[in-house]
Structure 1
Amino acid sequence: MMQKNLLDLQRVAKSFTASDGQARVILDKVDFQLKEGEIVALLGKSGSGKSTLLRIMAGLISADHGEVKYREREINQPVSGIAMVFQSFALFPWLTVQQNVELGLEAQGVPQAERTVRADSVLELIGLSGFGGALPRELSGGMKQRVGIARALVTNPDVLLMDEAFSALDVLTGETLRNDMLELWEERKIPTKGILIVSHNIEEAVMMADRIVLLTSDPGTVRCEIPVDLPRPRDPDSPEVRALIDEVYGLMTMRAQSDSHPESAARHLGYRLPETTISRIEGILDMLAEAPFLGRADLPELAEEAELSDEDLFPTYEALSMLGLASLEKGDILLTALGQQYVHAEQSLKQDIFGQQCLTHVPLVAHIRRELEREPSGSVAEQPVLDLLQEFLKEKEAKRVLEVAIEWGRYGEVYEYDYHTGRLTLPGSAED
């Protein structure tokens, strides 16, 4: 029997107007379906528009182009069959747990007596029986998120949208809540027909989902879909689960074809440089070079050893790959010969290697250096560089990218930067 589509998105696009008045494309030509009886995980790096897409599905914002349908009806405002759970809990601090849970029912005009019965029932279901009179400040993070989930479930939603719902919790609490949700789903204790999870946690996606959808960034488009044909409950240490986690890591760390074929000079220079620091880059290099990894590490194991999330580490992996200090291969990261040389080099040689790799592989750093060499004074203001970046990036993102380029260029002694005047100069160059 063919599964019916709960959600059906066709060629969805969304742009926002930046402070400079230019439109920035967040999502472009997104096709997506959520079918009855499935859990889907949506993964993507920063800038992929995951949360924007979720809010379009929830009817909180509208798409600029394309079709967004729930059970073949167009979505242009919040609909009663779709409920959402937020990362930030989004509880009203002055209301009790009971009152927070009843809010959705009150908005639907459900009588008080029925609201009380339904709220009591879902609080018991979610493990919060007896906490109805408590205020949010009296609860732990895990309990607050249970309230958020109860508030969504009390409306008996057809579709449950979960936006990073477990990411604000510690690992053990998040895992417990995730397992409780899967138990409710598998035992059909909730009426929900489909769940869509936005996450940055690859293991979470593999443990929960029937299908994983990967989005590219700038703009967000569907890169690929990975079916997860493993029965639940899943053992996180089983070879099948570990292999799938490695596969998804490999796909997540692979640059999209659109990234390597920029559409314009501005896009080429304004490529979203990874949001990482020199200290984190060198910290990961040092970890890779030492036991137990000795030059090669499984990405999930490295994340565990570093005690950092996938979201924190992906930019560092990207930076290492971009600079030719490490390579990424099917969920593993390997030190290159240059990376090995870098780890064991004296500080001055490290900086020389870093600078040369920036000039070779980071177009923005090379562009700044060329502009400095063209100027008789060996000095340029940062503003024209920022203006160039803003032809493609939002103002805030353009500033961040320039900050990364300045940090990398200064460390590699490609150029110097004066934070008081906002000017870039050639090393050793003196202004009149």
Structure 2
Amino acid sequence: MLDQPSALIDIRGVCRSFPKGSGEQLLVLDKVDLTIRSGEIVGLLGRSGSGKSTLLRIIAGLVSPSAGQATCRGETIVGPPNGVAMSGLIETLAGPPYHGHADLPVLASQLQLEADEILHLGESLQLLRFAQLSEGDLMLTDTGKRFAHLETDARKKLFAEHLVTYVPVMGLIRRVLDERPSHTAPAARFRNELEDYMSEDYAGETLKTVVSWGRYAELFAYDEQSETFSLENPGEGG
């Protein structure tokens, strides 16, 4: 028998409740178990109000479970992967009632994010020229509005183009992978370069963000165990 691929997403005993106006708790998810492995296509079926969207928000890191555990690649989901979170934020901001312009605290409340989390996402969108921050407001650029109306593959392509153009280390990683015969490179190669401009801890956190963005855009793959970038199966890696 062939070995099963390791779990990409693992949900164990997850519960989620929300406060009602009366002060009581509304139970939306009750002891949910779910395992999704790399390469699988999974659909969630259920009537309106059954908790499908809440479960997806937990998997995306937008909402924390009230009880139980949600992991991605063996690590507890404590926040949204940057590419997914930014895509969701652009989509929310482009739609009604915002139509491309919103107050950050209002967005944070709707997306159930902390103030520092929504600010970090807004700054990332500004870096990539998808949005602009001004006096506590977040406004989509024309490119951001275009992104919101693209299909998934086209979104990833546009995201990749902006990563390579506006994030220097991202362009460096891709150039090194393209130029090397093996199309691989150790993470230390780029971590050391980042440490020339920032602290060791911040360089490590920056590299984690780079990996998350690059995977979403399918610019490269990254193997966690060997800490190696490659061009094999971009968007996957383990």
Could you state the TM-score of these two structures normalised by the residue count of structure 2?
Answer: 0.60
In structure 1, the partner of 2:108 is: 303
Deviation beyond 3 Å, 4+ runs, structure 1: none
Provide the secondary structure at the position in 1 that maps to 2:113.
coil
In structure 1, the partner of 2:215 is: 410
Q: Provide the C-alpha distance between the structure 1 equivalents of 2:121 and 2:156, rounded to a whole number of angstroms.
A: 17
Which letter maps to 1:380? A
The answer to whether residue 186 in structure 2 is matched with residue 381 in structure 1 is yes
Q: Provide the C-alpha distance between the structure 1 equivalents of 2:215 and 2:84, rounded to a whole number of angstroms.
A: 14
In structure 2, the partner of 1:345 is: 150
Q: Provide the C-alpha distance between the structure 2 equivalents of 1:428 and 1:301, rounded to a whole number of angstroms.
A: 38
% identity of equivalent residues: 30
Query: In the TM superposition, what are the counterparts of 1:71-90 in structure 2 within 5 Å?
Result: none
Q: Is the 8 A contact 1:276 1:316 kept in 2?
A: no
Q: Provide the C-alpha distance between the structure 2 equivalents of 1:358 and 1:374, rounded to a whole number of angstroms.
A: 18
Q: CA deviation digits over 1:33-83, x for unaligned, max 9?
A: xxxxxxxxxxxxxxxxxxxxxxxxxxxxxxxxxxxxxxxxxxxxxxxxxxx
In structure 1, the partner of 2:34 is: none
Question: Which structure is larger by alpha-carbon Rg, 1 or 2?
Answer: 1
Gaps of 5+ in 1: 1-274
Q: Provide the C-alpha distance between the structure 1 equivalents of 2:189 and 2:217, rounded to a whole number of angstroms.
A: 22
In structure 2, the partner of 1:390 is: 195
Provide the secondary structure at the position in 2 that maps to 1:334.
strand
| Deviation of the 1:292 alpha carbon | 1.3
In structure 2, the partner of 1:133 is: none
| Deviation of the 1:410 alpha carbon | 1.8
Query: In the TM superposition, what are the counterparts of 1:15-94 in structure 2 within 5 Å?
Result: none
In structure 1, the partner of 2:139 is: 334
The answer to whether residue 205 in structure 2 is matched with residue 400 in structure 1 is yes
In structure 2, the partner of 1:82 is: none
Gaps of 5+ in 2: 1-79
| Deviation of the 1:428 alpha carbon | 5.6
| Deviation of the 1:427 alpha carbon | 4.8
Provide the secondary structure at the position in 1 that maps to 2:157.
helix
Q: Provide the C-alpha distance between the structure 2 equivalents of 1:331 and 1:400, rounded to a whole number of angstroms.
A: 25
Q: Provide the C-alpha distance between the structure 1 equivalents of 2:199 and 2:229, rounded to a whole number of angstroms.
A: 22
Q: CA deviation digits over 1:296-322, x for unaligned, max 9?
A: 112232233333232111110011111
Instruction: Indicate the RMSD between aligned Cα atoms, in angstroms.
Output: 2.0
Provide the secondary structure at the position in 2 that maps to 1:297.
strand
1:312 to 101, 117, 131: 117
Aligned length: 155
